């Protein structure tokens, strides 16, 4: 066993919480380097270039990499002596400070450079005759130096009590240099990052007894958080009492516990039988206030921006798109123009997008229009339909600062059913009180992933203007899909015909009964092979494990077919299964606004470079390009080696990845899974334009189609 201390010179891999990296040892033999292999259970935080680490471990030999050190203990340390030069110039935390500048600072100040950094001596570092560092770089150096030296004792404190060191960065973001003090004062503050049992044990070790007010307040806070994470923004007294007793034990007087929570401001009683966390309460109260302002009579200032309905614009629109708007759609157009806030509701095939297009054509140049949807595919859909730029909600929130929108802005939110309470708050927070907003969606589609129900509350409110579109258009009617989804929407089980192949019928909704997961997968693969040459087809499943198994099978089939055809099958590594040319792929977990690609975007891998191409970006970082893909609604995108962590196979995807998409055909795996409910079935079927083949348990289908969506059971505090 050996112990070394050195500077991280390169990080090769970060997987599963562990890492493989190089250390340049800090001693007389400064050229000696070690390859470190550290598993997640010994690595307190992920290492970065330029950081100082102390590693204790055993030497082992790898046939592929030679000698390396298998770490048994790892700790991040402070630099000392001249190693500060490498620490500053190689660490990504200090951009703008290269090797030349770092060496010059050390030659000028030597060991005193530590004092300059500790004391944040801005004048010395920026003085042209001394440090000669720009103000921007100097501020970054001081901020990151302070953060680094403050994080290390937090890491060691966490490790001392058996908590993972990676939490240090998150704790520091909240409490800064007072992190240790705050945790000693009330160890239950760790509940924001750790589970109840571990934190409760720590509290006892630090002297907090079982009847302490801090423990009482924390237990209530924990229960409220758990329910919030499950989608609820409120909880009734019975549920709160029952869950708090499970955490504290039955000896506690529950009224005193809840009183302590209210006094410590970890719970708010909003009704006799309803409680909320302070955060959920603040969000919903602001939403309620802002909407109440939008419902007030129009002021003189807002009258300036008034828009009149013009029948000739409707005629022109109908002529251009080749359809005639029905009475419901005309009513929706007029109501939107006459109200500062409105909901347009409708299921599949009723012409919500066409109605939105007609509304946009009515709005004059005195208004500045913002259109947005939850994902990029839906945003592109309404961009194409309205000839007016739409963006994702996340990009809108990123680009637009508070109080930046003009008074004459008009927002249109598409697929509003998936907007959760925090997102609704962030959108409304940016709106001037003179603005207008139109929410368009279907409350029976997938509910928000995050907490609460927003659009659903609006559509049930007696004070919010709304128009519901019910007439199914002829183009959609012939497939039979809208009538099937309408029955499910009403919790009526539709009669689905048995699937007998595309030669028999290539439209509508059909069913293949199959109870075992093995048989479901077998049928899915068989139907996919039949459909693949008949337009776009997408497999949708509930479980990630089902998606993975089907993706592997189809990827392997694709590889074998290319081999049979004499085509190359080079592997391109991802964080999962390597992909090859022609594979269906999915970009996931990251929204890259700069390049215009968003989580859930589907595509085809079209090229893999034999030799990666390298270039330097505008920040001086080296970029390695490894291939090319063709993505829906984006087009061609060159992929970097770093991109591959966001790429996985896309033959089979979950419904959340499919949201906003339309496929000519969809193959739907009706599994006995927790996520499968009425809204899951409904949303899956509405992803298809021509044909849907449902494969799975008929009992599951009947049970869920005839039941209300589970999201309707969420307990919420918002009332409008």
The closest of 479, 505, 510 to 494, measured between CA atoms, is 510
Neighbours of 328 (CB within 10 A): 18
* Residues paired with 262 in a beta bridge: none
Mean pLDDT for 408-416 is: 94
CATH number of 2-160: 2.40.50.140
Q: How many residues does the chain have?
A: 720
Q: Return all residues near 180 (Cβ < 8 A) that are at least 6 apart.
A: 153, 154, 157
List, edge to edge, every strand of the sheet that includes 390-392.
Answer: 390-392, 368-373, 409-414, 436-441, 341-346, 466-469
Q: Could you report how far apart the first and last alpha carbons of the chain are, in Å?
A: 66
Instruction: Specify whether the CB–CB gap between 83 and 27 falls below 8 A.
Output: no
Task: For residue 546, give the 3-state DSSP assignment.
Answer: helix
Instruction: Specify whether the CB–CB gap between 172 and 189 falls below 8 A.
Output: no
| pLDDT score for 27 | 66
C-alpha–C-alpha distance, residues 589 and 120, integer Å: 38
Neighbours of 37 (CB within 10 A): 18
The closest of 201, 200, 163 to 180, measured between CA atoms, is 163
Pairwise pLDDT comparison (300 vs 588), residue with the higher score: 588
C-alpha–C-alpha distance, residues 111 and 261, integer Å: 51
Q: Which residues of 402-419 are buried (b: 16+ CB within 10 A; e: fewer)?
A: eeebeebbbbbbbbbbbb
| pLDDT score for 660 | 77
Instruction: Specify whether the CB–CB gap between 280 and 421 falls below 8 A.
Output: yes
Instruction: Specify whether the CB–CB gap between 25 and 32 falls below 8 A.
Output: yes
CATH number of 192-276: 1.10.10
**pTM of the full structure:** 0.82
Neighbours of 69 (CB within 10 A): 20
Task: For residue 715, give the 3-state DSSP assignment.
Answer: coil
Domain boundary assignment for the chain: 2-160, 192-276, 292-475, 494-720
Structure tokens at 246: 């499970």
* Residues paired with 57 in a beta bridge: 2, 71
Which spans in 505-573 are helix H? 517-531, 544-564
192-276 and 292-475 share one fold: no
Q: Which residues of 1-25 are buried (b: 16+ CB within 10 A; e: fewer)?
A: eeebbbbbeebeebeeebbbbbbbb
C-alpha–C-alpha distance, residues 515 and 520, integer Å: 7
Instruction: Specify whether the CB–CB gap between 275 and 716 falls below 8 A.
Output: no
Pairwise pLDDT comparison (171 vs 422), residue with the higher score: 422
Structure tokens at 22: 């190089």
Task: Burial-class residue 592 by CB neighbours within 10 Å (0-12, 13-18, 19+).
Answer: middle
Mean pLDDT for 52-77 is: 87
- Please tell me what DSSP assigns to residue 372: E
| pLDDT score for 549 | 94
| DSSP string computed for 73-117 | EEEEE---TTHHHHHHHH-TTSTT--HHHHHHHHHHHTTHHHHHH
Pairwise pLDDT comparison (321 vs 301), residue with the higher score: 321
Neighbours of 110 (CB within 10 A): 12
Mean pLDDT for 178-186 is: 90
CATH number of 292-475: 3.40.50.300
| pLDDT score for 154 | 87
152-171 pLDDT, tens digit each: 888 888 888 888 877 887 88
Beta strands in 386-503, from DSSP E residues, in sequence order: 390-392, 409-414, 436-441, 466-469, 497-498
523-561 pLDDT, tens digit each: 999 999 999 888 889 999 999 999 999 999 999 999 999
C-alpha–C-alpha distance, residues 326 and 282, integer Å: 41
Mean pLDDT for 585-596 is: 85
Q: What is the largest CA-CA distance in the chain?
A: 86
636-670 pLDDT, tens digit each: 999 998 899 899 999 999 998 888 788 999 999 99
C-alpha–C-alpha distance, residues 544 and 442, integer Å: 25
Instruction: Specify whether the CB–CB gap between 494 and 488 falls below 8 A.
Output: yes
C-alpha–C-alpha distance, residues 605 and 572, integer Å: 10
Instruction: Specify whether the CB–CB gap between 159 and 175 falls below 8 A.
Output: no
C-alpha–C-alpha distance, residues 528 and 693, integer Å: 10
């Amino acid at each position: 066993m050996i112990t070394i201390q050195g500077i991280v010179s390169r990080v090769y891999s970060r997987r599963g919480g562990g890492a493989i990296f190089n250390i340049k040892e800090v001693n007389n033999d400064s050229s000696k380097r070690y390859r470190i292999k550290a598993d997640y259970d010994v690595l307190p935080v992920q290492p970065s270039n330029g950081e100082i680490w102390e590693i204790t471990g055993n030497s082992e030999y790898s046939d592929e990499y030679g000698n390396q050190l298998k770490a048994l203990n790892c700790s991040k340390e402070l630099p000392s002596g001249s190693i500060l030069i490498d620490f500053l110039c190689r660490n990504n935390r200090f951009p703008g400070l290269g090797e030349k500048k770092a060496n010059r600072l050390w030659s000028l100040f030597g060991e005193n450079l530590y004092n300059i950094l500790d004391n944040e001596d801005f004048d010395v570092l920026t003085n042209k005759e001394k440090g000669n560092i720009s103000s921007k770089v100097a501020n970054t150096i001081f901020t990151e130096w302070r953060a680094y030296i403050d994080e290390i004792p937090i890491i060691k404190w966490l490790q001392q009590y058996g908590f993972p060191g990676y939490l240090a960065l998150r704790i520091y973001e909240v409490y800064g240099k007072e992190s240790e003090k705050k945790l000693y004062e009330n160890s239950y503050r760790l509940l924001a990052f750790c589970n109840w049992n571990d934190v409760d044990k720590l509290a006892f070790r630090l002297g907090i007894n079982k009847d302490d007010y801090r423990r009482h307040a924390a237990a209530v806070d924990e229960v409220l958080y758990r329910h919030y994470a499950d989608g609820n923004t409120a909880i009734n007294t019975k549920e709160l009492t029952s869950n708090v007793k499970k955490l504290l034990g039955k000896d506690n007087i529950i009224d005193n516990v809840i009183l302590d929570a209210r006094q410590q401001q970890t719970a708010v009683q909003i009704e006799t039988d309803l409680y909320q966390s302070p955060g959920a309460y603040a969000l919903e109260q602001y939403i309620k206030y802002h909407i109440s302002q939008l419902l007030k009579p129009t002021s003189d200032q807002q009258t300036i921006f008034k828009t009149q309905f013009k029948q000739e614009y409707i005629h022109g629109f109908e002529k251009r798109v080749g359809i005639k708007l029905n009475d419901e759609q005309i009513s929706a157009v007029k109501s939107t123009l006459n109200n500062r806030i409105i909901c347009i509701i409708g299921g599949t095939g009723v012409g919500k997008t066409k109605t939105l297009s007609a509304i946009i054509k009515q709005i004059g140049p005195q208004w500045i229009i913002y259109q947005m949807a939850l994902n990029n595919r839906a945003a592109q859909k309404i961009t194409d339909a309205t000839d007016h730029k739409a963006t994702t909600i996340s990009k809108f929130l990123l680009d637009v600062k508070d109080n930046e929108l003009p008074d004459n802005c008009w927002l249109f939110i598409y697929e509003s059913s998936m907007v959760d309470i925090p997102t609704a708050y962030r959108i409304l927070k940016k709106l001037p009180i003179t603005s207008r907003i139109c929410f368009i969606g279907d409350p029976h589609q997938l509910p928000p992933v995050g907490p609460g129900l927003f659009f659903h509350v609006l559509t049930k409110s007696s004070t919010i203007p709304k128009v519901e579109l019910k007439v199914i258009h002829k183009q959609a009617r012939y497939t039979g899909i809208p009538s099937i989804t309408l029955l499910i929407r009403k919790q009526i089980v539709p009669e689905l015909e048995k699937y007998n192949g595309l030669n028999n019928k290539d439209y509508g909704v059909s069913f293949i009964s199959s109870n075992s997961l093995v048989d479901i997968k077998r049928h899915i693969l068989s139907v996919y092979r039949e459909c693949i040459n008949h337009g776009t087809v997408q497999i949708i499943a509930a479980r990630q494990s089902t998606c993975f198994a089907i993706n592997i099978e189809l990827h392997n089939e694709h590889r074998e077919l290319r081999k049979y055809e004499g085509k190359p099958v080079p592997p391109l590594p991802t964080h999962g299964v390597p992909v090859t040319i022609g594979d269906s792929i999915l970009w996931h977990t990251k929204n890259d606004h700069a390049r215009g690609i968003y989580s859930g975007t589907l595509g085809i891998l079209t090229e893999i470079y034999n030799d990666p191409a390298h270039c330097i970006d505008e920040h001086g970082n080296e970029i390695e390009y490894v291939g090319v893909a063709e993505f829906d609604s984006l087009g061609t995108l060159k992929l970097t080696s770093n991109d591959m962590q966001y790429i996985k196979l896309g033959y089979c995807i979950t419904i959340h990845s499919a949201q906003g998409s339309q496929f000519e055909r969809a193959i739907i795996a009706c599994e006995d899974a927790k996520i499968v409910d009425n809204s899951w079935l409904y949303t899956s079927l509405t992803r298809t334009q021509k044909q849907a083949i449902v494969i799975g348990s008929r009992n599951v289908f009947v049970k869920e189609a005839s039941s209300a969506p589970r999201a309707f059971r969420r307990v919420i505090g918002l009332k409008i």
